[in-house]
Amino acid sequence: MKSYKYIWSIICLLAGMFSSCNDDFLERFPLDEVSNETFWNTENDLATYNNTFYHMALNDNEVPIMVAHHDGFNSLAWSYYFQDEFADNLAPRHERHLFFQQVRAGKQIVPNSAQWFGYSGWNFVRALNIGLENYGKAAISEEARNKYIGEARLFRGWFYAEKVQKFGDVPWVDHELNIDDEALFAARTPREEAMDNVLADLEFATTHIPDDWGDGNEPGRLNRWAALAVMSRVCLFEGTWRKYHGGTNPEMWLRAAADAAKEIMDNGPYAIYNTGDPENDYNAFHRVLDLSGNPEVMVWRRYQLGI
């Protein structure tokens, strides 16, 4: 009996000596903060993450696609004026709008130094790419996952389409960059290659985003119909540009634009707002704050005091 005890104690001692700490035990994540390693688990996590895209797009100085209203006085200097000043909707006379005046006057003057507009918004692309790299971690069905992938790719394609419209060639970034990434210093991606990527993003989005997110659409997330509308516009611009400025395969782009629009017209739930008063209907719905339930409105933004 006694010798058994010795043997046992030696075995126990050896076991203690030769086993080591589990490194995972020492690897701890902060409990009071959300970290990338611990976040991506449920469908709700993905949805909450994707909310950040809508939040970032509020800043239309950096992300002009949603035509938001950036920030008080500054909105007069940049932001949505970008869009409207290239058209004849606005004609401000202040000096800082000189670029747009020149464009409208048909002059083409290339500035000899970097300008403040258009080179920002890369935080948005980074957020999208981080999402796309991490959605796979959640243990949810592929169908559910693809909804959020589609949403992110819709934003990415849309954002890049806007950049291409302004600059032509753009640096296409499809993954999160760190400071040692060679892509940081890479040349711009040629226009047609970038737009092929845009089209792939939009095609994925328009097939995987649901027609209805089941969120009451007030105003809710961008649904498949909104994605189709974006795709139609982007493809129309690109097809027309290629047709009149040179480029390959403009018909394919114009066809894609037409198909996307036709899909909304034939199968979409939208209709002209009509209360049987054609004299006033158009005017009426432009003057209400709450557009929920209006069949003519696809995407809208709610403003409310005191929130």
Binding interface with another protein (CB under 8 A) = 29-30, 33-37, 39, 45, 48-49, 51-52, 54-58, 119-120, 122-127, 130-131, 171, 173, 177-180, 183-185, 215-216, 218-221, 290, 292, 301-304, 307
* Number of residues assigned to the chain: 307
| Cα–Cα distance for residue pair 159/167, rounded to 1 Å | 12
The nearer residue to another protein, 262 or 301, going by C-beta atoms, is 301
Report, in Å, the least distance between residue 77 CB and another protein. Answer: 17
Task: Specify the residue, 252 or 297, whose C-beta has the smaller distance to another protein.
Answer: 297
Report in angstroms how near the CB of residue 255 gets to another protein at its nearest. Answer: 32
As measured in angstroms, the least distance from the Cβ of 216 to another protein is 6
CB of 226 to another protein, least distance (A): 13
Do 190 and 169 meet the contact criterion of CB atoms below 8 Å apart? yes
| Complete DSSP assignment for 170-208 | B----S---TT-GGGGPPPBPHHHHHHHHHHHHHHHHHH
Of 142 and 180, which has the nearer Cβ to another protein? 180
Q: How far is the CB of 233 from another protein (least distance, A)?
A: 21
Strand partners, 56: none
Q: Which residues contact 298 (CB under 8 A, 6 or more apart)?
A: 225, 226, 229, 270
Cβ 126 to another protein shortest distance, Å: 3
Judged by beta carbon, residue 59 or residue 206, the one nearer another protein is 59
Spatial contact of 135 and 145, defined as CB atoms under 8 Å apart: yes
**Considering the complex, what minimum distance in angstroms separates the CB of residue 209 from another protein?**
15
Which residue's CB is nearer to another protein, number 21 or number 179? 179
CB-wise, 7 or 67, nearer to another protein?
A: 67
State the nearest-atom distance from the C-beta of 53 to another protein, in Å: 9
Nearer to another protein, 57 or 227 (CB): 57
Q: Roughly what angle, to the nearest 10 degrees, separates helices 250-267 and 224-245?
A: 150
> Partners of 189 in the beta sheet?
170
CA dist 277 → 273, 282, 294 (Å): 10, 9, 15
Q: In the 8-state DSSP scheme, what is residue 116?
A: S
Q: CA 139, 145, 149, 152: dihedral to nearest 10 degrees? A: -90
The residue type found at 77 is A
Q: Which neighbouring-strand residues pair with 170? A: 189
Task: Choose between 209 and 256: whose C-beta lies nearer to another protein.
Answer: 209
Q: What is the largest CA-CA distance in the chain?
A: 106
Alpha carbon distance 100, 93 (integer Å): 10
